[in-house]
Amino acid sequence: MRALLQTLRGVRHCATSTKMAKEVSEISIPVPWGEIRGKVWGPDHGRPVLCLHGWADNCGTFNTLIPLLPKECRYVAVDLAGHGLSSHRPPGDFYSFSAYVADVRRVADALQMRKFSIIGHSMGESTIRFSALYPEMVDALVLLDAYGFLPTDLKELSKVLRQGMDEMLQFEKTEKKKRVYTYEKAVERLLAANPTLSERSVHILLERGLVQVDEAGFVFSRDLRVNFKNIAPISLEQSLEMQSRIQASVLVVLAEEGFSRIFFEPAQRKFTSTLLQYLQDRNHMVAKVPGDHHVHLNKPEVITSFVSDFLRENCVLNNRIKSLIISVFLFFNFIDKSEQGDDGHTYRMFYSCTV
């Protein structure tokens, strides 16, 4: 596969320095309503790994983790629609997991990523749903403090769907005016909303999470509509059926003080335990680490060994074996022979043989 960032039409890039920690390219991928922005680390021909952030975050969430991961990979981290520096969806459009899946496919097509791995944090349903709908494209899946699907009780489906619609309709009737903050107040606001973030992590996320509107003011860049209820909830039965379609190896890394703490109701715990057991029954890996929901950003060294070993085993090693097989095939598939032509000259011919 040609270099992900240097030969693709319509994709803009801006490369920087030479070391992995600093060698970052900014990319812009055109979509029907604007652009999806992102960042890329790693060698041009490295095994592609697509990194998807959590709800209301942006691709900066991987800034501290990616430099610690295998250098053989090419990491593409994007701001999902309505987040970070990416365009907001058009007026009247809903944000849903299915829409995010379509965006992931748009990114993969634009970057010519036919087979790749995915690292997804928190908002895991778009990550795992893509892996279920396009299983042939994903060879390894890492879920960081995420259970993948977050099913809704059958009795609550219509209620959740109605709430999401009502929120959107009410939003469309109100004046669209964002509050302006000083940078210091924006830091305080994000810390208050996400108390598990370290102050350093807050500054990292605000690099793409703020837009300056005047000399002293900033607004948060994310679309307010991402806060609304998902209008396409699915049941536990639907979740398990879709999960069964995943062909990739799966690693789930759960933080002890993370996502699991918000699922305290018996029905919620039943759902999450069922999903995890389903993965374990199929020989996928589930690991628990000390830390909170943003441990991958606050203290990436806590999870680095799990993720690195998993990627090496399922992506890097497999890619090397594949390259070796292709090399051997090409070596034996063409036999160099010399033949004399009708004009009396000797010509070198290459005959293909079946191996």
Decide: helix, strand or coil at residue 5: coil
What DSSP line would sit under 141-183, residue for residue?
A: EEEES--S-----GGGHHHHHHHHHHHHHHHHHS---PPPB-H
**pTM score of the predicted model:** 0.83
Q: What is the pLDDT of residue 259?
A: 81
Answer yes or no: is pLDDT of 77 > 70: yes
pLDDT tens profile 24-65: 999 999 999 999 999 999 999 999 999 999 999 999 999 999
Predicted pLDDT at 265: 64
pLDDT for the residue numbered 93:
96
Q: Is the Cβ–Cβ distance between 27 and 11 less than 8 Å?
A: yes
Tell me the catalytic residues: 122
Q: What percent of the chain has a predicted confidence (pLDDT) above 70?
A: 80
The CA radius of gyration of the chain, in Å to the nearest whole number, is 23
> Residue 121 corresponds to which tokens in the numbers above?
């944090």
Can you give the pLDDT at residue 152? 87
Give the other-Cβ count within 10 Å of 169's Cβ: 10
For 66, phi and psi rounded to 5 degrees?
-55, -40
- Could you tell me the sign of the dihedral formed by the alpha carbons of 129, 132, 136, 141, in that order? positive
The predicted-structure confidence for 283-334, as pLDDT tens digits, reads as follows 899 999 999 999 999 999 999 999 999 999 987 655 554 544 444 444 445 4
Sign of CA dihedral 267, 268, 270, 274: positive
- 37, 61, 81, 172, 213 from 87: Cα distances, Å: 8, 18, 6, 18, 16
Using the predicted structure, report yes or no on whether residue 272 has a pLDDT greater than 90.
no
Domains, the chain: 12-151+232-327 (3.40.50.1820)
Average pLDDT over residues 328-342: 47
Tokens 């305290």, residue located: 264
Residue 149 is predicted with a pLDDT of 83
Q: Rounded mean pLDDT of 97-114?
A: 96
Q: What is the mean pLDDT of residues 215-223?
A: 92
Task: Indicate the pLDDT class of residue 335, thresholds 50, 70 and 90.
Answer: very low
Q: What is the mean pLDDT of residues 254-280?
A: 79
